[in-house]
Structure 1
Amino acid sequence: MPFDLRFTKGQGTGNDFVLFADPEGDSELTPTRVRAVCDRRFGVGADGVIRAVRSANLDAGEGSLAEDRDAVWFMDYWNADGSVSEMCGNGVRVFTSYLLDQGFADIPPGGELAIGTRAGVKRVSRSVNGFQVDMGRWRLDGSDPLVRARELPVARPGLGIDVGNPHVVVALADDDELDGLDLGYVPILDPVPAAGANVEFVVPAEPLVEDGVGRIRMRVHERGSGETLSCGTGAVAAALAVRHWAGSGAPNDWRVQVPGGVLGVRMFQADDGEHVALSGPAELVFDGVLSLA
C-alpha cells in the first residue's frame, strides 16, 4: 500500500543518508522502496537509508541487546541498491545526531550512547568536530586479492581488512593515479570475496607523518552504493592498512582526506584487544515527506 515517508536527510563528510523513525518496526522496508528513496533523480537521493528501530522490535536487534542492554536503538542500514549492510561508520554518527535531534536519546557530558548494528554494538561519544565512534576490534581477513580498476593500468595487490564489514585497501603511487581512477565502474577483485567488499584506494601524504599524526588521501567504491564522497569504515580500513604497511613506529592517530572532507582514525588498546575509533562531523540537512508506492 502507498504510504508517506517522513524523513530527515543527513550527511557525514558527504556520505549522505535518508533517515526515518520506525520505533515499533512496523514499516515494511523493501529493496524496491530503498532504491526508490535513494534515486537521485526520482527520489530523495542518498548513499543509503537508515531506519531508527528499537532493538527489542527487530530480530537483528536482539543480539545487540544481548551484548549490551543499553543498546536501546538499532541502526537498520540499507545500501542504495537495496541490499542490507552490516555497518556504516559515517552512518552511525549521522544516526546519533538524528536520535538526539528527535529526542529519542541523549549523551550526557563525558558519556556515551550505545547503538545496535549488525556488526555489534557501537559506542558513540561527542568530539570536537561532531562524534567519535568506537568501532571495536578489527582484523586482517587473510584475503589479498588483485584489484583492477578503470584507468588503473596494472592490477594492484589489495589488503583485506574486516572492521565489521569487509574492505580491500589498495596502495597507489601518487595523487595522479588516485585522481585518474574512474570509480563509476565496479573494481574487479580476484578472487572475488564471498560477501563482496568495499574497495579503498589510498595515497600517503608527503610527509606521511606530521606532528605524530599519519596522513593519507582516499577514494572509495562502496559495495552496494558505488563511489561515495566518504566512507567511514573505509577510512578506518585505509588507515589500518597504511599503518600495517609502514611497520613498527607508525603512529596510531591518522587524518584521512576523502573527497567530502576529513575523518579522524585512532587505534587504542582495550580490555579485549586493539580497538579503532572514527571521528568526524555529522549534519542533518533537511526534513521532508516522500510518497511511496
Structure 2
Amino acid sequence: MTTITFTKGHGTGNDFVLITDPDGALDLTPDIVRFLCDRRFGVGADGVIRAVRSNAIGEGAAILAEEPEAEWFMDYRNADGSTAEMCGNGIRVYAHYLISEGLVSPERNDTLPIGTRAGVRDVLVGAAGYTVDLGRWRLGKERLVAATGLEVARPGLGIEVGNPHVVTVLADETELDGLQLESTPTFEPVPEDGANAEFVVPADPFLKNGVAHIRMRVFERGVGETQSCGTGAAASALAFRHWGGEQMPNSWSVTVPGGRLGVRMFATEEGEHVSLSGPAELVYRGEIELP
C-alpha cells in the first residue's frame, strides 16, 4: 500500500484534494482520483490537484517554452478521473497551496505564473485573495440546453475560457432554484469535448456602483453540480455582457452557492482578457492509503 499526504482546500466551496509530487513519481490513475474524491470512502472533493514541476510532466515542455518561469504545473483531474484544461477556483487554491507549502515565495502583489493544460496562467497574490488572468476568451456556438426542472429546452451560449462552457439565462430566481441538477443537463448539438453548464439570472439590483451583479448555478463536466465554478463565473459574465451589448460594464460580481466571485474584462495588446478574483482556503491536512 502507498500512503500519501494530502491537503484539502476550497475556493467558494469548490473543493479539491491537493498533493505534492514535484518529480511526477506518482501514477495518478483515474481510479486513484475517483477514490480520493469519493465523499464516503475517500477524502471527498470536486477534483484532485497535483503539484508537479513543469519539467516533470509531458505537457510541461510547451509551458516552459511559453514561460520559462512557470516552474509549477497544475495537474488537475475531475472527480470522475478525467483530466481538465483549467479550473478557475482550483488555480487560486493551488497558488495558495504552493505558498503555504513553501514551494514558492512570492511577495504580496507579485504575479505567479502557473502551467495548466490551457497554457500559462498568471495569478496575482493579494491581501484579500487571489486574482488569476484567465487569458483571452472565445465566443462559441449557440446550443439548446435541457435540464430537469425546465419545462422546455432553452438557448445557451458557448464561451471558451480555457475550458468549454454553455451559459443559459433563466427567467427568474424561482426558476433557477427549481433546477434539479442531480441529473446531467444535455446540449443540442452536443459539444465534441463536453461542456460545463451554467444557469444564470440577474440580481436585484443588477447594477450597483458600476458593477453588474448576477447569480449562477453550475453543473461541471466530470463532476456534477458544485458550489462554485470560477471559469463558469467568468463565462456567465461574458455571456451576459454579450447579450446586453455595449452598455454593459466590464466589472461583474457573481454569486454562487458557495460565495461570491469577481470577474473583470480588460484590454491587452493581444486582445481582451478576463480575470477572476476570489478567496482560497486550506481546510485540513492528512494522510491516506491508496488502494
- The answer for the alignment partner of 1:44 in structure 2 is 43
- Map Cα deviations across residues 260-287 of structure 1 (whole Å, 9 max, x no partner): 0000000001111100000000000000
Q: For 1:19-30, what aligned pairs fall within 5 Å after superposition?
A: 19-30=18-29
Contact 2:109/2:126 (CA < 8 Å) preserved in 1? no
- The answer for the alignment partner of 1:197 in structure 2 is 195
Shift of 1:108: 1.7
Shift of 1:193: 0.2
Match of 1:224 among 222, 225, 245: 222
Looking at structure 1, the residues matched to 107 and 285 of structure 2 have their Cα atoms a distance apart, in angstroms, of: 26
Q: For 1:263-282, what aligned pairs fall within 5 Å after superposition?
A: 263-282=261-280
Shift of 1:128: 4.4
Match of 1:159 among 157, 160, 164: 157
Shift of 1:129: 2.6
Match of 1:242 among 240, 243, 250: 240
> Which amino acid in structure 2 is aligned with residue 164 of structure 1?
G
Looking at structure 2, the residues matched to 111 and 126 of structure 1 have their Cα atoms a distance apart, in angstroms, of: 6
- Map Cα deviations across residues 126-168 of structure 1 (whole Å, 9 max, x no partner): 2343100000000102x11100000111110000000000000
Match of 2:249 among 248, 251, 265: 251
- The answer for the alignment partner of 2:15 in structure 1 is 16
Structure 1 residue runs of 5 or longer lacking an equivalent are none
Looking at structure 2, the residues matched to 32 and 64 of structure 1 have their Cα atoms a distance apart, in angstroms, of: 27
- 2:59 is paired with a residue whose SS is helix
Structure 2 residue runs of 5 or longer lacking an equivalent are none
- The answer for the alignment partner of 1:106 in structure 2 is 105
Contact 2:11/2:90 (CA < 8 Å) preserved in 1? yes
- The answer for the alignment partner of 1:53 in structure 2 is 52
- Map Cα deviations across residues 74-121 of structure 1 (whole Å, 9 max, x no partner): 000000000000000000000000000010012223310000000010
Q: For 1:105-184, what aligned pairs fall within 5 Å after superposition?
A: 105-141=104-140, 143-184=141-182
Please say which of residues 107-116 and 172-181 is displaced more in the overlay: 107-116
- 2:125 is paired with a residue whose SS is strand
Alignment length (residue pairs): 291
- The answer for the alignment partner of 1:90 in structure 2 is 89
Shift of 1:50: 0.3
Matched, 1:3 2:6: no
Looking at structure 2, the residues matched to 192 and 110 of structure 1 have their Cα atoms a distance apart, in angstroms, of: 41
TM-score, structure 2 as length reference:
0.99
Looking at structure 2, the residues matched to 101 and 29 of structure 1 have their Cα atoms a distance apart, in angstroms, of: 23
> Which amino acid in structure 2 is aligned with residue 252 of structure 1?
N
Report the RMSD for the aligned CA atoms in angstroms: 0.7
Shift of 1:61: 1.1
- 1:153 is paired with a residue whose SS is coil
- The answer for the alignment partner of 1:260 in structure 2 is 258
Contact 2:135/2:275 (CA < 8 Å) preserved in 1? yes
